[in-house]
Amino acid sequence: DALYWAGRAATARRAYLSANGHYNALMARYPDSARLAETLLAQGDVLSELGQFAAAILAFNEVIVKFPQTPEAMIAWGRKGDCQFTLGQEDPARYEEALLSYRTLLDFAGAPADLRLQAGYKVGRCLEKMNRVPAALDRYMEVVYSFLQEEQPPAEAAVWFTRAAFGTAALQENAGRWKEAAGIYRRVADAGVPAAAEARGRTERIRQEHWVLF
């Protein structure tokens, strides 16, 4: 436990190389540690912070393979997708890989609502990067509707609802569908989420610039 917590403390100080050293030492000395899944997950996060995304993916893969039905594996699928998405800037084929990771997280048994909404939004983001705009719109709207159907959505879910809604509205604006975009912004405003004021401002901008449609 001491090496694990030393790694966590180093991570909190942003001493990522030191943290990685602690995690490597723990796994070398205690390969059967009860904290192995947590350690691999934490190491993947540290490697991501260092920009070593390919190495981070290997750490997340170890969690997924060795501990497939655990909460750590569920988180690892999402973090792996994030690394693949980042690598997509250099190699667009990586977006397809990220899409698979996020879809796996979306279907993961027992995934909480906020994590499912996050995965759904990120699926849409991958589809958008792959120029599959209609599919991206559908996925974003699934996130929007899922959030609005929750009686008491967790606070963290509001972030992914907002991003999905704004993503939808941006695509509608790009296509010149101003009334549809304004309608999406109104949903955000009416939802009372932290971005409600910004959504009202965007709605008003569209109404002023395209008043003839309203």
For 130-181, what is each residue's pLDDT tens digit? 999 999 999 999 999 999 998 888 889 999 999 999 999 999 999 999 999 9
In the predicted model, what is the mean pLDDT of residues 103-129? 96
The enclosing H or E element of 158 equals: helix 157-174
Is residue 36 domain-shared with residue 104, that is, in the same domain?
yes
pLDDT, tens only, 32-88: 999 999 999 999 999 999 999 999 999 999 999 999 999 999 999 999 999 999 999
Task: Report yes or no on 185 lying in a domain.
Answer: yes
pTM of the predicted structure, to 2 decimals: 0.92
Task: Report yes or no on 83 lying in a domain.
Answer: yes
Is residue 95 domain-shared with residue 3, that is, in the same domain?
yes
Is residue 75 domain-shared with residue 157, that is, in the same domain?
no
- At 119, the pLDDT band (50, 70, 90 cuts) reads very high
What stretches of 88-153 show up as alpha helix (H) in DSSP? 94-106, 113-129, 133-149
154 is in which domain, residue-wise?
Answer: 133-214
Give pLDDT, residue 212.
81
Could you tell me which of 94, 103, 144 has the C-alpha nearest to residue 122? Answer: 103
Q: What is the DSSP letter of 213?
A: G
What is the spatial distance between Cα 173 and Cα 165, in angstroms, rounded to a whole number?
Answer: 12
- At 1, the pLDDT band (50, 70, 90 cuts) reads confident
In the predicted model, what is the mean pLDDT of residues 118-124? 98
In the predicted model, what is the mean pLDDT of residues 98-118? 95
Task: Report yes or no on 121 lying in a domain.
Answer: no
| Other residues' Cβ atoms within 10 Å of the Cβ of residue 10 | 19
Find out whether 3 and 25 touch, Cβ atoms under 8 Å.
yes
